[in-house]
Amino acid sequence: MLLTLFCGSLFSVNSLSSHHFQAVLVSAKSSNVNVFDKKDIRRLFLGLRPIHSQQTNIPIINTSNRKAYKLFLKNIMFLTERGYERKLIKRVFRQGADKIESFDSINALTKHLKQHPDNITFMLKQDALSRPDLKIIQALW
């Protein structure tokens, strides 16, 4: 009984986290980016080429909201922050992959996306909805 209650409690916390932190994939309003397979989003943010999509968009890491960033790593990348950073460094310096740019200010990120319509990033749905210069491509979770 105790075990059941404990598991139930954990489930509720996770559900609450995801519900309160709904996230979306976004690009500039002027972009022609279409919906991605989630496996391709993972590949793009690892510096790999997508398999299911012909789109070759440039990923941008959004660290302006630490909670959303960690949930993105957990839900989409299946990695911890430490594991993700380790994989990125290895790809750049082992395989010559492009370094993925990162922004810790959502205003600077929005400005960057406006200037680079082929770039994509993730952010909280409420943040994306409040920025008319951005287009929601798809829900992430």
Partner 1 sequence: MFAGIASKGDQFLADYPNTGLYDDDISFAPDSSFGVQLKTRSSDKLEFIIQLISHGAHEFQNEIDWAYINYNIDSELSLQMGRKRLPLYYYSDFYDLGFAYYWVRPPSDNYTWQITNYNGLSLVYEPELGQWDASFNLYFGREDDKENHLLTFLASNTPVNESWKNIIGFVAELSDDIFEYRFTIMSSQLNRQIGNIVLSDDVGQLFYGLSVNARIDEFTFLSELNHYERSNDNISVNTSMFSFGYKVGKTIPHITYSSLKQKQQAGSGDEQHFTVSLGARHNLNKTTALKVQYDKTTDKGISTPIVGNGKLLSFGVDFIF
Residues that bind partner 1 (CB under 8 A): 39, 43, 46, 48-51, 56, 78-80, 82-83, 85, 87, 89-90, 92-96, 98
> What does the DSSP 8-state code read for residue 86?
H
Q: Residue length, the chain?
A: 141
Q: If you search the block for the tokens 């509720």, which residue do you land on?
A: 12
Query: Closest CB to partner 1 among 39 and 67?
Result: 39
Query: Closest CB to partner 1 among 96 and 132?
Result: 96
**Closest distance between partner 1 and the C-beta of residue 59, in Å?**
15
For residue 134, what are the β-bridge partners? Answer: 28
CA dist., res. 106 & res. 19, Å (int): 21
CA dist., res. 43 & res. 77, Å (int): 9
Query: Closest CB to partner 1 among 35 and 89?
Result: 89
**Closest distance between partner 1 and the C-beta of residue 126, in Å?**
27
